Structures are given as C-alpha cells and as structure tokens.
Structure 1
Amino acid sequence: MSIEPSQKLPCLLLHGFTGGPFELQPLADYLRSSGRSCEVPRLPWHGEDLAQLKTGHWTKWIQSAEWYAERMSAAYGSFDIIGFSMGGLLAAYIAARYPVRKLILLNASVVYISPSRLLKVIHERWKHRDVQDLDKVKSTPIRATWQFTRIVRHLRPELTKVRVPTFIAQSEQDHVIHPLSARYIYNKLGGYRELSWFPKSRHLICLSDESVRLFHEVDVFLEKECGGENDEKDKAPF
C-alpha cells in the first residue's frame, strides 16, 4: 500500500517493559481521530505473560520491533514511530535503521531512577496506601529485570545514530525513569529535536492529567516542518 502525498503517514507505537498497548492506546486513538493510521502491537514480555518474563531473552524485544518495522516499511515505504519507556529505546533503534520520518520518545528509559527518588516514591505510596506499582515490581521475575538492564545497555548507544527529527516528552514526576533521561537523550541525538517537560505527570504519561497537552504537541510535531534551532520547552531543573 503506497501513501499519497496528501495522506498522513502511519504510526507505529511501541509500549514499555512489562506493559502493554494500553500505555499508548489513548494517544493512538487521538492520532486516529485526526486521520492517521496507527498500529500498537503487543510485544513479547508484556505484563500478562509471566512465562515469557521468566524465560525470555532481551533480543526477542528487538526482533519483534524489527518485524513490525519491516512490515510497515513494506506496506507504506515510510512511517513515524512512537516509543514509551523501554519502547522508546526500541523506537530509536528502529529510527536509525528503517525509513522512519519522525521519532517520538515518551519517558524513554535511559537513566534509572535514583535511590533517593525511589525512596520518596515508596514513602508516598505507603502514605496514600497506593501499592499497585509496588506489587507489580515484586511480581516481576528477577531474570526479566536483568534482561531489561541488558537491553538498555545495548540500545543506549543507538541514540547517537538517530538523525530523524525527534520529539522528546518527559514527566517530571516520573517514578520509574529518572527525568535526567530526557536531558541525556536530547544531548545525544544527532538531528533536529524538541524536548517538552510535563511537570505534573508520572510515568504513564498517556494516562496522565496532562495527556491532552501531550497528544496535541505530538500531533503538531508530526505535522510541522522541522528544522532550524533545536527547542526545549519549559526547561526543567534536571
């Protein structure tokens, strides 16, 4: 299937480690409402697949992402890609190797949360009796967490190979990935990039109170002509 010049490019959206399509579904629905075709696949090691979490290897994530990228390339020639959390590193890897026009990174996992920040998060969870995130951490097999650290180390250098226009969104209240990740990514990318901070949002940014603003900025970025000076909106003290 070829894309007419007047049509919007399709978009591939990649979810995070132990997550699922639900993490990106609201954004996909928003982009579809503006006339953009979106694919949000369920990758290996999603949150409901405990067996794969216990036995899977980090290369399966890359192989799965490449399978979808190859399918998009064959069908459309070029496409846009969005990655959330660990899916952000996969999206950067794809953007450096496939005919990706634009890259969107949402709370991409590069710098782990600091011990002091994690303790603060745990304190807040217990204070508000919100233990859902802690239960998920305890149910994730240690082997899967080790595989996660390996894929991050393997894919982090890929950021310097990215040359396509990139939009980086980062939650300032992210309790999983340290906000310094966004600054690191911004400094490593080789092409035009924009960095936008979301002061009230936590890790699941597409499900946050600032999601409407995020969706609008992503849509605007996908539609605009990119070039000139790089841009950082509402600079954060990280």
Structure 2
Amino acid sequence: MKTGILCIHGFTGGPYEVQPFVDYLEANTDWQIVVPTLPGHGEILELKSLTAESWMMAAEQALRMLQKEVDRVYVVGFSMGGIIAIYLALRYKIDKMVLLSAAAKYINPAQLLHDIGDVAKKIVEGKSEENTLFQIYSKKLRATPIPAALEFVRLVKMVEPYYEQITIPVCLVQGKKDGIVPYTAAPFLFDHIKSTNKQLIFSDSGKHHICYSDDCQNWFPQALAFLREEVQEKIC
C-alpha cells in the first residue's frame, strides 16, 4: 500500500517552515511527500488580492493530485496550514493528520513581547542580522497587506465551527513558548476534536516554528510513530 503525505505551510510562510520534519520523514520512510507553496507565499510574498479560498483551493488541488498517486494519505499542517488540514479532512478521505502549531488561536501577546524584547536587545548589540526572529518579523511586517491578514483570520473562523466533526486520528504538536499561537490552542483543539485516537505533544522550548525547535529530535520520532501506528494496524 503506497502512502503519501501532504505538508501545508503557514500564513506568510513557505515549505521551509516544515522542511526539517519533511527531511526526517524522507530519511525514515519511503512515503511520497508533497509540499506545495500556497498562492502568494514562499520566499517572496505577493499576498495582495489573495483570499482564504485561494489558499484552501490550492491545498485541495495538491491533495487531489496526491490521492491519484497513492493508496493512503496523511496530512501535516503547520500554523494556518493546520487549519487548512482540518478543512481538507472535513471534505476528503484523509487517514491521519499531524497538526503543528495549528492556529486555532493566534497571537500570544506575552510571548510575542518577550521575543520582540530579545530582538530589541540584539539590535542594540548590533547583532540583529544574527537573529532569525528579527529577520522573519521585519520581512513579514513589510510584505503583509492588512487585507491578507484579515483573510487569514477569516479562514480560521470559517473552519472553527467544524472542529467537532473531525474523527480521524490526529497528533497535535505545540511549543510552549510560541509567540504567535498560544500553547493553549493545542489543548483547545484536542478537546474539541472528536477523534478517539488523538495525541498531544508539547515542546517545552518550542516557539512558533516548531520544526526548528531545540527538541525537535524528540518529537519527530513521536509524530512518525503516530503515523506508522495505523500502517501496522492495517497490516495486521
């Protein structure tokens, strides 16, 4: 039985956001992995005039193409991509999901201020170029139109009423130091999703870009074991 994985990145991001986990999956499985770039996203942001439907439809198209080539599909969604993954699971046959920093809630003010404080300190010390967070925030603030940000919020609101319709196996991974998605978002989703097979993994040191967390080598194997569990069950 051939397995495929669709990995969906977050708002204003790109495939690089999930690349470390993709690399781990490629090194440890023979699964077919697809990581599309959502419209207007990637290294250069061009989000003007794009809508929530643009991103959802692009993910749908990638999923349908993958489904034609494999027997079983798993979806990995990061941040906004996690919400899009839930949307896809409501409409298509998906065997399992892994939701990374899923944006069921967004903006953790306390942690965001702490991170910005770290950035400010680096600027004063003349080391801002060494701070990845500074580069990410400065780039996104310059390139993200307000209407696009509102579309992101609208996408989350569109899917929110349907969390309880999710019954497929789900693994949620959340960093406790996330400055964008509060770590309470994962327990919120865990409680509302009606899956009987669900798992919640916390990263104590993880920030929003959870695939780059210091402890990712701890949770990467856990997430893969969760995905493999179903394969073993179906073989037996």
Query: Shorter-chain-normalised TM-score: which range?
Result: 0.7 to 0.9
Q: CA deviation at 1:224?
A: 1.3
Residue 72 of structure 2 corresponds to which residue in structure 1?
78
Greater helix proportion: 2
Residue 86 of structure 2 corresponds to which residue in structure 1?
92
1:134 corresponds to which letter in structure 2?
Y
1:51-66 alignment runs, 5 A limit:
51=46, 53-66=47-60
Is 1:13 matched up with 2:2?
no
Residue 44 of structure 1 corresponds to which residue in structure 2?
39
* Aligned mates of 2:77, 2:35 — CA distance in 1: 10
1:1-238 alignment runs, 5 A limit:
4=1, 7=2, 9-34=3-28, 35-51=30-46, 53-129=47-123, 130=131, 131-139=134-142, 140-191=144-195, 192-225=197-230
In structure 1, list runs of 5 or more residues that go unmatched. 227-238
TM-score norm. by structure 2 comes to 0.87
Q: Does the Cα contact within 8 Å between 2:111 and 2:177 map onto a contact in 1?
A: no
* Aligned mates of 1:93, 1:77 — CA distance in 2: 20
Equivalent residue pairs, number: 219
1:132-181 deviation digits (Å, cap 9, x = unpaired): 23303421211211111111111222322111000000001111111111
Q: CA deviation at 1:12?
A: 0.7
Q: Percent sequence identity over matched residues?
A: 33
Q: Does the Cα contact within 8 Å between 1:96 and 1:163 map onto a contact in 2?
A: no
* Aligned mates of 2:174, 2:194 — CA distance in 1: 19
The range that moved more, 109-118 or 189-198, is 109-118
Secondary structure of the residue that 2:36 maps to in structure 1?
A: coil
Q: CA deviation at 1:111?
A: 1.0
Cα RMSD of the aligned pairs, angstroms, is: 1.7
TM-score norm. by structure 1 comes to 0.86
